[in-house]
């Protein structure tokens, strides 16, 4: 009996309208686990070199992991991967909700989508089967209506739907894939890949149960979380993300005005606390999760917001709020709702708008360019308008839909200075000028700027978190440090956190390292250890990196945008910035600690050590 | 409260007759644990470069680990370390029994012995105190009498004694330290260091208990072992070591005639099964251990043997038996007893005698050299006689007491061909021509040829042991393979097994990887994981290597003796041998996988990654 994994992978070729099934052996699952491990494996094995991500040659992979769908907090996630239209590199995003667990229960660990449908279609996956179904009537529909229609078509009100809205259809380069209307696989533009394939949605319905090797042990863990969630999940359980906006503003972590400034006096107006008080109508959760950190907000009046789309996370509050100078909470909630409706990544959307605002203030864009919109920082109405225009690819929205890297190239005249991205992916809402280790993480991540599988240095002082001691990190390292001790900390923490993308599990379920080991053991029956899990993650990190090297990414691409090498104009970080020389050194140390050569290319022995020697043939490796 | 460690280190300067105490902080213990970690730390920090190991400048360190003395199988061990008089490199040996646990209970994690006493002394350690006591009357005494005398002097019949016999006093370069009369810290000549310091013994008496952080969890583990020991400890519990002599002979693993030949038809005469039937009178154990694998043998007649000295392990049966061509079990038991009495390592003793026998058969030694003894292979009487002569450093014994490397240099005329050692340490009783990974292990071990922290390839086919899956090793690799997959397997297994020398724990207590993690967690309260434990072990391996590099050891010293590059003259391995080119490649891969440069020197970033950047100053590191 398979525990923790179903054993089957569904392959759908939309061009040929072919559906097939693969059944890898257990050792394959134990080697690659799921999520990033599976996605990077298949992309490396199957993708032609140098393809345009938005052509039928790209493949889109939905992947669960060994704990997806197990009845335990944090297991309600799935990964989505492809070559990214935003970065041209390895692309991957994760989303919570119920869709991933449902896919498992429908009998599949992963879905590989190939080719492109002649006309809009959606996929209907149920009972170990799959059908390609017409979606002409769904095209251009926002996601709530689309989900309702699909469920009606299928006569199944419990079908779970992962889908794109018009933003994905129009291939906004940072379009997201939305699970269950409010959970976004946001980063890297995976929604654009769906759009490019004429794939509106994947509806799944599962009735199987994930086989659990040791149900009693898993129940013990679940009971522990149920009893302790209030203690160990701190603010998340009460407020969701965004409970530290004030601290972030004070310390300089909060991006303000496209990362330019530090002070944002009205930060309290857009905090999770204020949300709870004024617009929150409920807290949603993901499959089997006791943390339940998903805000549901409702608003009426000029910015009416439907709680069915959830509510803004911290990243959203900052990206569409302070980063655009906007302190109107309802406007942010509205923009968040629109991002869901259109299926747009709120981070990239917010950063793109902030970028446009700074261009506007500096005369690089004018009202003619914006169709008459006053794109000044702080203009809430303009911000909301921009989300719509991006989602529709209308006017300036069409340019911003390309992401800041491409938009800046088009605008030129120094606009590059305002384009805050790494490898083409817009930077999330945490400050490398404050958290130097995180900055290194932005620089070297295979997916470009990414805050999830990264360290957040400010939490590490003055005492190191107990959890990191489990990784052999016994001392705190100052947040501004970028020396070898920080790099060591970074390497281990990032490897550990990246594991979430293989399991696939949520970062916010506050399991200790050993508890996570115990979860995997209980679900799969594998006698795994933290050592093996770290290796699984490191393997996946290397697979993604090899993919990028194959696509031509070089050492110089592991770098931060110019903004971070200069101080903020105000606030806590007005006299400090990332030192490029120190970042260069830290990067070199990181490469070496990872077993990569000076160019950042994994050595052959490192690949052999990770049991992926086959990847050495994909690139030229010493 | 300290859990698992006492916090105190006892330092004794015998030249100055000074006793002092040190109290490292908890973070120190968590970083270096114990055993090799502590020993290598202090030797690197404190030993002058290039000293003669047998001078007062050397330091001798007895070290426990965090689980020593905890009431759980495998915890009854301690390490002994110094610069080795046999290899000139990092020297370390482990022994079981009760002495280590007693040292902990006396309040100490380690003892550092410095200088040299003017006259023979012994150390009396009890109740967190220590006294240097006269041992003139004990000198030249064999260990049973010596222990009796010490106990009488101290009026304490429960004092545990670690000591040397006349072999140690006379600085036989492979003299052992004997715990409790029958447990030898055999390898690397630690007994000779005691002798060089005029230190006859360390008697300890402890009344404290090791503080256990989670006694209930530890009890659960202990109960599990008590219930399952018959299943999981297979033959060990029934026979002790030496239950596979016949299989070893058949497969070629058994050394015969100084590793020259393969067939040994009378192998059954010297097996653990035969011992059980004919000479065994009991089975001893170590502190708190349910495995109880320590034979106690008794014989009368020409080879009378006192069971107080225990009985021969597999290594002894082969080294003094088949390797010398001897199939007289009682002679072997007698030789084993003599090795205890004199405190001689049975492996090095047997290999030295086998070497002399081959020299004798080839005319490099004659009866004049041997004092009339017919040193032919198979001459049981001669073998026993040689043990005595080595222990007394009499006649040819004085030459053989130097170990085969020095003896061969002295004899010259091609004797080097018969000297089966690595870095000066005689090779144990497992065959690199059969187990190619083990051969690599002999070559690269910091202590020279060592079988304990090593892989035993033949156990790995056709199925990989479940335990190794916990380390991410999912497939078996053929025993004759020396490619990257084998090196990977070797790296992880050797790192894991070397951990025993830091914990300090016994290899023979068959805990799974996760159980061992649980034991350390239960005893120490540290939220450790297999990942941290692997790092602790890797750190200690690197510390020992840095020590050797500092002493001038080079890449070329990581190599096997010539014997293994030619097939055996008979038996299963008569047409196969280690391919030097493949060994060279495997070594290069291993260096790289360890984060060492092409010369085998750890890179600075590897040392930084292991949180021992300070060692980079000890050597020139890139």
CB atoms B514 and A531 under 8 Å: no
CB atoms A531 and B613 under 8 Å: no
Average pLDDT over residues B414-422: 98
Task: Considering only the beta carbons, identify the residue of B471, B488, B529 that sits closest to A514.
Answer: B529
Listed residue (A298, A305, A408, A430) closest to A362, CA to CA: A408
Residue of A nearest to B488 (CA): A609
Q: What is the pLDDT of residue A622?
A: 65
Rounded CA Rg of chain A? 22
**A378 reaches B (C-beta below 8 A):** no
Listed residue (A170, A186, A176, A181) closest to A392, CA to CA: A170
Question: Is the confidence metric ipTM above 0.90 for this complex?
Answer: yes
Average pLDDT over residues B208-233: 96
CA A345/CA B31 separation, integer angstroms? 43
Q: How confident is the model over B528-539, as pLDDT tens digits?
A: 999 999 999 999
CB atoms A532 and B530 under 8 Å: yes
Distance from CA of B467 to the nearest CA of A (A): 8
Task: Count the residues in chain B.
Answer: 622
Dihedral of the alpha carbons of A552, A556, A560, A561, in degrees to the nearest 10: -80
Task: Considering only the beta carbons, identify the residue of B27, B485, B528 that sits closest to A470.
Answer: B528
Chain A residues in contact with B533 (beta carbon < 8 A)? 531
**A30 reaches B (C-beta below 8 A):** yes
CB atoms A608 and B593 under 8 Å: yes
Q: What is the pLDDT of residue B621?
A: 73
**B513 reaches A (C-beta below 8 A):** yes
Distance from CA of B360 to the nearest CA of A (A): 46
- Is the Cβ–Cβ distance between B14 and B112 less than 8 Å? no
| Interface residue of A464, A609, A610 to substitute, partner B, most B CBs within 10 Å | A609
The kind and range of the H/E element at B18 are strand B18-22
CB atoms A531 and B466 under 8 Å: no
- Is the Cβ–Cβ distance between A72 and A515 less than 8 Å? no
Task: Considering only the beta carbons, identify the residue of A470, A474, A529 that sits closest to B514.
Answer: A529
DSSP-derived secondary structure for A573-612: TTT----HHHHHHHHHHHHHHHTB-TTSPBPHHHHHHTT-
Q: Which long-range contacts (CB under 8 A, 24 or more apart) does A328-332 make?
A: A328/A269, A328/A303, A328/A380, A329/A269, A329/A270, A329/A274, A329/A275, A329/A278, A329/A279, A330/A279, A330/A299, A330/A301, A330/A302, A330/A303, A330/A305, A331/A303, A331/A380, A331/A381, A331/A383, A331/A384, A332/A270, A332/A380
* Bridge partners, B215 (sequence order): none
Please report which confidence band the pLDDT of residue A452 belongs to, taking 50, 70 and 90 as the band edges: confident
Backbone dihedral angles phi then psi of residue B168, each to the nearest 5 degrees: -70, -45
CB atoms B531 and A536 under 8 Å: no
Q: How confident is the model over A108-127, as pLDDT tens digits?
A: 999 999 999 999 999 999 98
Chain A residues in contact with B488 (beta carbon < 8 A)? 608-609, 611
Residue with tokens 């359980």: A237
* Bridge partners, B363 (sequence order): none
3-state secondary structure of B547: helix
**A277 reaches B (C-beta below 8 A):** no
What totals of helices (H) and strands (E) does chain A contain, helices first?
25, 16
Share of chain B above pLDDT 90, in %: 95
Distance from CA of B106 to the nearest CA of A (A): 28
CB atoms A527 and B487 under 8 Å: no
CB atoms B527 and A514 under 8 Å: yes
SS3 for A487-515, per residue? HHHHHHHHHHHHCHHHHCCCCCCCCCHHH
CA A334/CA B51 separation, integer angstroms? 76
Could you give the count of Cα atoms lying within 13 Å of B472 in the half-sphere of its Cβ?
29
B449 Cβ contact list (under 8 Å, min separation 6): B421, B422, B423, B425, B426, B427, B428, B442
Distance from CA of B504 to the nearest CA of A (A): 18
**A469 reaches B (C-beta below 8 A):** yes
Task: Considering only the beta carbons, identify the residue of B517, B533, B605 that sits closest to A484.
Answer: B605
Average pLDDT over residues A191-197: 98
Distance from CA of A79 to the nearest CA of B (A): 23
Task: Considering only the beta carbons, identify the residue of A471, A611, A613 that sits closest to B531.
Answer: A471
CB atoms B474 and A589 under 8 Å: no
* Bridge partners, B40 (sequence order): none
- Is the Cβ–Cβ distance between B104 and B206 less than 8 Å? yes
Distance from CA of A89 to the nearest CA of B (A): 27
Largest CA distance in chain B: 65
CA B565/CA A606 separation, integer angstroms? 29
CA B478/CA B461 separation, integer angstroms? 7
| Distance (Å) of CA A471 to CA A422, A509, A566, B29, B471 | 28, 18, 34, 16, 15
- Is the Cβ–Cβ distance between B97 and B76 less than 8 Å? yes
- Is the Cβ–Cβ distance between A174 and A345 less than 8 Å? yes
Average pLDDT over residues B61-69: 97
Q: What is the pLDDT of residue A460?
A: 67
| Cα A127 to chain centroid, rounded | 29
CA B311/CA B297 separation, integer angstroms? 5
Q: What is the pLDDT of residue A621?
A: 73
CA B523/CA B510 separation, integer angstroms? 18
Listed residue (B508, B486, B469) closest to B585, CA to CA: B486
Chain B residues in contact with A609 (beta carbon < 8 A)? 484, 488, 491, 593
Give chain A's mean pLDDT: 96
SS3 for A268-312, per residue? HHHCHHHHHHHCEEEEECCCCCCCCCEEEECECHHHCECHHHCCC
Chain A residues in contact with B514 (beta carbon < 8 A)? 517, 521, 527, 529
Classify each residue of B377-408 as buried b or exposed e, where b means 16 or more C-beta atoms within 10 Å of its C-beta: bebbebbbbbbbbbbbbebbbebbbbbbbbbb
Backbone dihedral angles phi then psi of residue B458, each to the nearest 5 degrees: -65, -20
The first and second tokens of residue B67, run together, are 């689980």
Give chain B's mean pLDDT: 96
Interface of A with B in 278-307 (CB under 8 A): none
Distance from CA of A28 to the nearest CA of B (A): 10
CB atoms B527 and A521 under 8 Å: no
Q: What is the pLDDT of residue B456?
A: 87
Backbone dihedral angles phi then psi of residue B307, each to the nearest 5 degrees: -65, -15
Chain B residues in contact with A484 (beta carbon < 8 A)? 605, 608-609, 613
- Is the Cβ–Cβ distance between A160 and A147 less than 8 Å? no
CA A483/CA B430 separation, integer angstroms? 45
Q: How confident is the model over A561-620, as pLDDT tens digits?
A: 999 999 999 999 999 999 999 999 999 999 999 999 999 999 999 999 999 999 998 887
A615 Cβ contact list (under 8 Å, min separation 6): A44, A542, A543, A546, A602, A607
Q: How confident is the model over B137-152, as pLDDT tens digits?
A: 999 999 999 999 999 9
CA A503/CA A68 separation, integer angstroms? 7
The first and second tokens of residue B327, run together, are 């199939």
Distance from CA of B613 to the nearest CA of A (A): 9
Q: What is the pLDDT of residue A213?
A: 98
**A393 reaches B (C-beta below 8 A):** no
B608 Cβ contact list (under 8 Å, min separation 6): A484, A485, A487, A488, A589, A593, B616
The first and second tokens of residue B491, run together, are 């790296």
Dihedral of the alpha carbons of B349, B350, B351, B353, in degrees to the nearest 10: 80
Classify each residue of B357-370 as buried b or exposed e, where b means 16 or more C-beta atoms within 10 Å of its C-beta: bbbbbeebbeeebb
* Bridge partners, A421 (sequence order): A426
**A497 reaches B (C-beta below 8 A):** no
**A605 reaches B (C-beta below 8 A):** yes
**B597 reaches A (C-beta below 8 A):** no
- Is the Cβ–Cβ distance between A407 and A331 less than 8 Å? no
**A476 reaches B (C-beta below 8 A):** no
A225 Cβ contact list (under 8 Å, min separation 6): A72, A73, A232, A290, A509, A511
**A512 reaches B (C-beta below 8 A):** yes
CA B305/CA A4 separation, integer angstroms? 58
CA B415/CA B490 separation, integer angstroms? 32
Q: What is the pLDDT of residue B460?
A: 67
Burial of B420 (0-12, 13-18, 19+ CB in 10 A): buried
Q: What is the pLDDT of residue A375?
A: 98
Q: How confident is the model over A354-409, as pLDDT tens digits?
A: 999 999 999 999 999 999 999 999 999 999 999 999 999 999 999 999 999 999 99
Please report which confidence band the pLDDT of residue A464 belongs to, taking 50, 70 and 90 as the band edges: confident
CB atoms A531 and B470 under 8 Å: yes
CA B80/CA B617 separation, integer angstroms? 26
- Is the Cβ–Cβ distance between B464 and B476 less than 8 Å? yes
Chain A residues in contact with B470 (beta carbon < 8 A)? 527-529, 531-532
Residue of A nearest to B533 (CA): A472
CA A569/CA A563 separation, integer angstroms? 11
Distance from CA of A472 to the nearest CA of B (A): 5
Q: What is the pLDDT of residue B622?
A: 66
CB atoms B593 and A611 under 8 Å: no
**A611 reaches B (C-beta below 8 A):** yes
CA A356/CA B295 separation, integer angstroms? 82
| Interface residue of A531, A539, A608 to substitute, partner B, most B CBs within 10 Å | A531
Lowest-pLDDT choice from A288-292, A302-306, B429-433, B453-457: B453-457
| Interface residue of B466, B467, B472, B537 to substitute, partner A, most A CBs within 10 Å | B472
DSSP-derived secondary structure for B557-587: GS---GGGGS--SSSTTTT----HHHHHHHH
Q: Is the pLDDT of residue A331 over 90?
A: yes
Q: What is the pLDDT of residue B463?
A: 84
CA A40/CA A587 separation, integer angstroms? 23
Q: Is the pLDDT of residue B358 over 80?
A: yes
Task: Considering only the beta carbons, identify the residue of A513, A536, A593 that sits closest to B609.
Answer: A593
Distance from CA of B180 to the nearest CA of A (A): 36
CA B137/CA A122 separation, integer angstroms? 93
Q: How confident is the model over A261-275, as pLDDT tens digits?
A: 999 999 999 999 999
């Amino acid at each position: 009996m398979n525990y923790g994994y179903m054993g089957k992978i569904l392959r759908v070729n939309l061009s040929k309208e072919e559906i097939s099934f693969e059944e890898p052996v257990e050792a394959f699952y134990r080697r690659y686990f799921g999520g990033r491990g599976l996605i990077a494996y298949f992309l490396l094995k199957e993708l032609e070199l140098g393809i345009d991500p938005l052509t039928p040659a790209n493949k889109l992979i939905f992947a669960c992991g060994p704990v997806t769908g197990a009845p335990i907090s944090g297991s309600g996630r799935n990964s989505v991967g492809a070559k990214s239209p935003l970065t041209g590199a390895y692309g991957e995003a994760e989303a919570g909700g119920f869709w991933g667990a449902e896919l498992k229960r429908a009998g599949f660990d992963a879905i590989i989508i190939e080719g492109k449908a002649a006309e809009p279609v959606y996929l209907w996956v149920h009972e170990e089967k799959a059908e390609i179904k017409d979606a002409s009537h769904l095209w251009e529909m926002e996601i709530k209506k689309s989900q309702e229609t699909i469920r009606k078509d299928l006569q199944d009100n419990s079908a779970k739907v992962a889908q794109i809205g018009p933003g994905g259809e129009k291939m906004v380069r940072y379009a997201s894939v939305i699970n269950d209307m409010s959970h976004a696989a946001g980063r890297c533009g995976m929604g654009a890949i769906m759009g490019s394939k004429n794939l509106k949605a994947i509806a799944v319905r599962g009735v199987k149960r994930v086989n659990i090797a040791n149900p009693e042990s898993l129940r013990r863990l679940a009971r522990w979380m149920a009893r302790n969630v209030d203690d160990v999940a701190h603010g998340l359980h009460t407020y969701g993300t965004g409970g530290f906006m004030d601290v972030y503003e004070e310390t300089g972590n909060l991006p303000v005005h496209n990362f330019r400034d530090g002070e944002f006096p009205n930060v309290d107006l857009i905090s999770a606390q204020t949300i709870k008080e004024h617009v929150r109508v409920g807290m949603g959760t993901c499959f089997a999760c006791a943390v339940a950190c998903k805000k549901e907000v409702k608003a009426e009046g000029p910015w009416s917001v439907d709680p069915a789309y959830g509510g803004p996370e911290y990243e959203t509050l900052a990206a569409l709020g302070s980063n655009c100078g906007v302190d109107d909470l309802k406007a942010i909630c509205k923009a968040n709702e629109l991002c869901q409706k259109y299926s747009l990544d709120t981070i990239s959307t917010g950063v793109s708008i902030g970028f446009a605002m700074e261009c506007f203030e500096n005369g690089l864009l004018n009202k003619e360019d914006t169709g008459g919109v006053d794109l000044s920082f702080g203009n809430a109405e303009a911000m909301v308008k921009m989300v719509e225009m991006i989602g529709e690819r209308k006017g300036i929205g069409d340019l911003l839909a390309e992401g800041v890297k491409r938009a800046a190239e088009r605008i030129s005249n120094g606009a590059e200075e305002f384009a805050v991205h790494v490898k083409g992916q817009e930077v999330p809402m945490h400050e490398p000028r404050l958290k130097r280790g995180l900055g290194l993480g932005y620089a070297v991540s295979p997916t470009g700027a990414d805050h999830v599988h990264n360290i957040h240095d400010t939490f590490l002082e003055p005492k190191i978190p107990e959890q990191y001691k489990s990784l052999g990190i016994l001392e705190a390292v100052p947040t501004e440090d970028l020396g070898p001790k920080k790099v060591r900390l970074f390497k281990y923490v990032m490897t550990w956190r990246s594991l979430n993308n293989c399991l696939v599990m949520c970062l916010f379920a506050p399991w200790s390292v050993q508890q996570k080991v115990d979860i995997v053991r209980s679900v799969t029956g594998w006698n795994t250890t933290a050592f093996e899990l770290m290796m699984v993650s490191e393997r996946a990190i290397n697979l993604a990196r090899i993919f990028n090297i194959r696509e031509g990414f070089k050492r110089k691409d592991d770098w931060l945008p110019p903004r971070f090498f200069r101080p903020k104009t105000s606030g806590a970080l007005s006299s400090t910035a990332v030192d490029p020389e120190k970042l260069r050194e830290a990067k070199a140390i990181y490469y070496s600690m990872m077993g990569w050569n000076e160019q950042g290319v994994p050595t052959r022995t490192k690949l052999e050590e990770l049991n992926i020697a086959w990847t050495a043939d994909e690139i030229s490796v010493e």
